[in-house]
Copies of this chain bind each other. A is one copy, B any other.
Amino acid sequence: MKERGKRRVGILGATGTVGQRLIHMLRDHPHFEVGALAASDRSEGKRFVEACPWKLPWEMPAEVREMRLQPCAPPVDCDLVIASLPSDTARVAEAAFAAAGYPVISNSSAFRMAPDVPLLVPEINPDHLQLIPVQQRNRGYQKGYLVTNPNCTTIGLVLALAPLDRAFGLEAVMMTSLQAISGAGYPGVASMDIIDNVLPYISGEEEKVEEEPQKILGSLAGGTIQPAPFLVSAQCNRVPVQDGHLESVRVKLRQPAPLEEVKSVLRGFRGLPQELNLPTAPTHPILVREEVDRPQPRLDREAEKGMATVVGRIARDTIFDYKLTLISHNTIRGAAGAALLNAELLLAQGLLD
């Protein structure tokens, strides 16, 4: 990266749960700073402090309080855009920014499954960034491009699947989630629906988890990603927990895998972000716990500043090969932190120059 001061991030969806988390993570970031805030039309022109229902247990950073909200359309005075928008507005806004020359790092589902858009997890598939020139050619973008991060439930899962797939080959994955309320944004889940209750339905979630992992773990050849050849089944539930998606997972492998080797492969997992020592990269992308009652959302969601997948209860399954439980912080590793790590990788690769 050239030395040229901090890159200015334009945050689309700045008033939302993920936007807030991102603003918080950008305080004192070595390479990035908040450059502009944008939100839905309704908030346009308002001061951020007026428009944003700030829900984090730290003060809103002073530098954003008085910033005026801009519309989610170019031009916006910034070097790159990080977007956390509802899927329908994302489809229009993100394409417009990319067409206008901005690198767009998207947290929405709009373009995740597009064949020419990287669905990036820096520890797993940094090579998928080679799709960017293909995408620019396909879409007639000059300088801008789109890079996406996975759904908040997918990412915790796929981090644990990646080393298993590489070491033993994955054949099938059954995942049942117990997801936190912050995943639905604010106001999101009504309290009458979740106090002393569980919701067995999250719109669109199961479909996403059932197709994203294969693209992420897919192999790139000839400008195309060949999805990894395994099946995923997802059942998604919402539980009365503020943050942290817990997932009960069974995996069927292609090769025999002794228990200790499974654990050691998970524990030893590292990727390019660790090698490059990216600021937001967890030292250990996967933490393996041996206590019989871990991981738990309240105790494990903040591990590695919310950027690790914490795995526990790894044991032989009666039907598939292994069962395990994992936790991932849905608004950090599952959203704001994922996008930020993507931005850091793009910067390190010279893709923000």
Binding site for B on A (CB under 8 A): 17, 55-58, 172, 174, 176, 178, 181-182, 186-201, 210, 231-233, 235, 237, 239-242, 246, 248, 250, 292-302, 312-313, 317-320, 323, 325
Kindly provide the distance from the CB of A311 to the nearest chain B CB, expressed in whole angstroms.
Answer: 11
With A200-B313, A200-B325 in contact, do A233 and B250 touch (Cβ < 8 Å)? Answer: yes
* Chain B residues, CB < 8 A from A241: 195-198, 240
- In the bound complex, do residue A189 and residue B190 qualify as a contact, i.e. CB atoms below 8 Å apart? yes
Closest B residue to A323 by beta carbon equals: B235
**Measured CA separation A241–B57 after assembly (Å):** 15
Residues A192 and B182 in contact in the complex (CB < 8 Å), given A242-B298, A318-B231 = yes
Q: Which residues of B have CB within 8 Å of A231?
A: 318-319
Q: Is the CB of B317 within 8 A of A198?
A: no
> Are A293 and B201 touching (Cβ within 8 A)?
yes
Taken together as a complex, chains A and B put the C-alpha atoms of A299 and B295 apart, in Å, by 24
Q: Which residues of B contact A297 (CB under 8 A)?
A: 196-198
Which of B55, B178, B192, B235 touches A187 (beta carbons < 8 Å)? Answer: B192
- Chain B proximity of A81: nearest CB distance (Å): 26
Name A232's closest neighbour in chain B (CB-CB): B318
3 tightest CB-CB pairs across the interface, nearest first?
Answer: A187-B190, A176-B176, A235-B248
